[in-house]
Amino acid sequence: MSYILNTPDQQAEMLAAIGVSSIDEIIQRQIPQDVLVEGLLDLPPALGEMELETHIKQLAALNRSDRVCLMGGGAYDHFIPAVVDEITSRGEFYTAYTPYQPEASQGSLQAFFEFQSLICRLTGMDVSNASLYEGGTAVSEAVFMAMRCTNRHKRVVILGSVNPEYRQVLQTYTKTLGTEVVVIPAKNGVVDPAEVTTALNDQTACLVIQQPNFLGCIEQAEELCTAARAVGALAVVSFDPISLGILTRPGDYGADIAVAEGQSLGTPLQYGGPYLGLLACRNEFVRKMPGRLIVQGKDRDDKLCYMLGLQTREQHIRRDKATSNICTNQGLLALRATVYLSSLGPQGLKEAAELSCRMAHYLADQLQTVPRVTLAFDKPFFKEFVIRCNQGVDKFLATARDLGFNIGPELSRFHDSELLQDGVLVAVTEKRTKAELDALVSGLKAKLK
Highest CATH level, class, for 68-77+345-447? alpha beta
Task: List residues bridging with 294 in a β-sheet.
Answer: 308
CATH number of 82-341: 3.40.640.10
CA distance 119 to 244: 11
What are the φ and ψ backbone dihedral angles of 248, each rounded to 5 degrees? -65, 140
Percent of the chain with pLDDT over 90: 74
In terms of Cβ atoms closer than 10 Å to its own Cβ (0-12, 13-18, 19+), residue 124 is: middle
d(CA 196, CA 228): 9
DSSP string, 135-146: HHHHHHHHHHHH
Q: Where are the domains of the chain?
A: 68-77+345-447, 82-341
313-349 pLDDT tens trace = 656 666 667 777 676 778 899 999 999 999 999 999 9
**60-69, 312-321, 437-446 — most confident range:** 437-446
Total-model pTM: 0.87
CA distances to 140, 201, 204 from 154, rounded to whole Å, are 15, 11, 7
pLDDT digits (tens, 9 = 90+) for 250-302: 999 999 999 999 999 999 999 888 999 999 999 999 999 998 899 999 989 99
* pLDDT tens readout for residues 347-394: 999 999 999 999 999 999 999 999 999 999 999 999 999 999 988 899
Range list of β-strands (E), 290-368: 292-298, 304-311
**Could you write out the DSSP letters of every residue in 168-234?**
HHHHHHHTTTT-EEEEEPPBTTB--HHHHHHH--TTEEEEEEEES-TTSBPP-HHHHHHHHHHTT-E
Peptide bond preceding 290 in cis form (omega within 30 of 0): no
**Separation of alpha carbons 383 and 365, rounded Å:** 13
The rounded Cα 276 to chain-centroid distance in angstroms is 7
Strand 155-159 vs strand 127-128: parallel, antiparallel, or unpaired?
unpaired
Answer yes or no: same fold for 68-77+345-447 and 82-341.
Answer: no
Look at residues 411, 416, 446, 438 and name the one whose alpha carbon lies nearest to residue 426.
411
Q: Which residue in 189, 250, 243 sits closest to 385, CA to CA? A: 189
Q: What are the tens digits of pLDDT across the range 45-55?
A: 999 999 999 99
Per-residue burial over 327-358, b if 16 or more Cβ lie within 10 Å, else e, is ebbbbbbbbbbbbbbbebeeeebeebbebbbe
Taking the C-alpha atoms of residue 175 and residue 228, their distance in angstroms, rounded to an integer, is: 23
Classified as helix, coil or strand, 381 is: strand
| Residue partners of 353: CB distance under 8 A and separation at least 6 | 242, 243, 244, 245, 246, 247, 382, 383
Neighbour count for residue 71 (Cβ, 10 Å): 19
- The confidence band for 147, taking pLDDT boundaries of 50, 70 and 90, is very high
What's the rounded Cα separation, in Å, for the pair 216 and 427?
Answer: 8
If you average pLDDT over residues 6-24, what whole number do you get?
Answer: 91
